[in-house]
Structure 1
């Protein structure tokens, strides 16, 4: 038990894993990587600012105090934290990586995974809310606030649990052959588990929206009001933006889980795919603004 504890605070462990999976490439960043890093930091500052404005709008405008907009506010909060997490990740990467202990490394990467999970679960909560609203099921009646708090709380508890699994033991510190190339202290099995969970949730969301559209098209005119349809289109666009931005990164992580060590050289360029995925957190507030006069 003591040896395991020491490994978690041994800075040389980081270098050992990076040398095994990446040939120590993290210690010699190229000019293009520096440029990308600076651009991501600037983008993250923009993400934090615009999502903060969305949260202020939801809090201050009484029109946005409905269940739907509260869930949108929750998504904006997860995007804001994602911006902070990605910024910290970039600032603590490169040569700085080798000054980190495994615990610090797990915190650096785990916060990014947790905010991604929170975004996915927030999208699921929004889809459930839209389905409830369209089908007129009275789950938000007398205990409306309690149910919303429980659902949002569950999003964050599950997201935090997913992000914490590696630091709690599901990692490859005792088996280098099981190590991810993109994230050298993470187990390939953990990477595959996370991608599988996210994919199943996204498929469930697509299924919910497909059912909603079928209900709207086959229902009476009073159900398909202009406001209902506009809001439905907005959240569908948000879902589409998430899939477009994150699909390349998900594919890279799937390759990472299946490729032998150093066999897939494209995995060394994973930072570019994650930089593209970061655009999603910047796109959501723009979508809200373009689609809603009240939000503008």
Structure 2
């Protein structure tokens, strides 16, 4: 069981320890002067708990407020579920470690492997779910801005749910495959290519949106749809912030994966690997930051939170 690190996306990033109570390092021998930065498990557990609670509140708010029953917020709920999985995997790992250390569980090799596979699957599902949810949100914003008059015909709630079913089915299948073939270099390469491809897709949509919106800004300034257009652009800006946070939180880990696979002996690569726990902490922080962005950028969602906390009768009922 991996005891002194955040869970990897696949076991190729490190080797298993022999027993959860052995707090041994799983990093390769550090041939540089870079000291490994170890983050306490309590810190991971606290941040994971906050991420679970915050994203659960987002799901409850969208479910309670019928005004939020739209494709955009359905995709936001998908992103919230991905963030929750990212927090749950670390919470589950900590609980298992504690139970094994207290001897409440007999952590034999087969049991350790099964738990590791489950935790890895949740972690992969969280990352892939986040990537595809952000892609779906980007596509939804694109349609909203450039096909505003046909949006409700193109993107219905039923179609949004079907899209999410396809996305999560693909993510689940990919997650299972990555866990099974975790020691194959091709798995790392395929995942990295998918990660980069989806980010290029999202960035391409955003660049196209902002360039065309800027060129048409003066032409539509006097039209009645100006307010609606500004609201759509605000949504696009919100998703741009989400994408930026996602990149800052996940890209260091993806880089770590690549270095562990293709640059195992270079002193600079090994030095970067010494901050693995910091990269893991960034991943956990992503689940905490995303709901804050929703609440800050969405007046309707912010109002829903206030009514939930103040136990006031909602107007949407």
- Give the whole-Å Cα distance in 1 for the aligned partners of 2:213 and 2:58: 28
The offset of 1:39, in angstroms, is: 0.6
Structure 1 154/80 Cα, relative in aligned 2: closer, same or farther at 3 Å?
A: same
Partner residue of 1:198?
A: 195
Distance 1:196 1:258 in 2: 15
Matched residue, 2:93: 89
In the alignment, which residue of structure 1 is the partner of 2:119?
A: 108
Partner of 1:117: 128
The answer as to 2:53 corresponding to 1:58 is: no
Q: Is the 8 A contact 1:21 1:262 kept in 2?
A: no
1:25 and 1:268 map into 2 onto residues whose CA distance is 22
CA shift, 1:106, in A, is: 1.6
Deviations 1:54-89 (A, max 9, x none): 111111122212211121121112111221112223
| Cα distance in 2, alignment partners of residues 32 and 268 from structure 1 | 6
CA distance 1:51–1:171, change in 2 (3 Å): closer
Q: Work out which of the residue numbers 78, 83, 92 in structure 2 matches 1:79.
A: 83
- 2:190 is paired with a residue of what secondary structure? helix
Q: What is the TM-score of this pair, normalised by structure 2?
A: 0.73
Length-normalised TM-score, structure 1 = 0.78
The aligned runs of 1:213-224 (5 Å cut-off) are: 213-219=210-216, 220-221=220-221, 222=225
Q: Which residue of 2 aligns with 1:232?
A: 236
2:23 counterpart residue number: 28
Deviations 1:127-175 (CA, angstroms, capped at 9, x unpaired): 11011111117364288233111111122111111210144x4233xxx
CA contact (8 A) 1:245 1:277 kept: yes
Give RMSD over aligned pairs: 3.1
Q: Name the stretch that deviates more: 23-32 or 103-112.
A: 23-32
Pairing 1:1-296 to 2, within 5 Å after superposition:
21=15, 27-29=22-24, 33=38, 36-92=40-96, 99=109, 100-136=111-147, 138=150, 140-141=152-153, 144-167=156-179, 169-172=180-183, 187-219=184-216, 220-221=220-221, 222=225, 225-260=229-264, 264-266=269-271, 267=273, 269-296=275-302
Return the offset for 1:215.
Answer: 2.1
On the 8 A contact 1:120/1:198 being kept in 2, the answer is: yes
Q: In structure 2, the residue corresponding to 1:123 is in which secondary structure?
A: helix
Post-superposition Cα deviations, 1:152-203, rounded to whole Å, max 9, x if no partner, equal 1122111111210144x4233xxxxxxxxxxxxxx33312221221111011
Change in Cα spacing, 1:194 to 1:25, as seen in structure 2 (3 Å) is: farther
Deviation beyond 6 Å, 4+ runs, structure 1? 22-26, 94-98
Which deviates more from structure 2 when the two are superposed, residues 23-32 or residues 268-277?
A: 23-32
C-alpha distance in 2 between matches for 1:140 and 1:257 = 46
Instruction: Name the SS of the counterpart of 1:171 in structure 2.
Output: coil
By how many angstroms is 1:23 displaced?
Answer: 8.5
Greater shift, 144-153 or 114-123, is seen at: 144-153
Q: CA–CA distance in 2 between the matches of 1:98 and 1:120?
A: 35
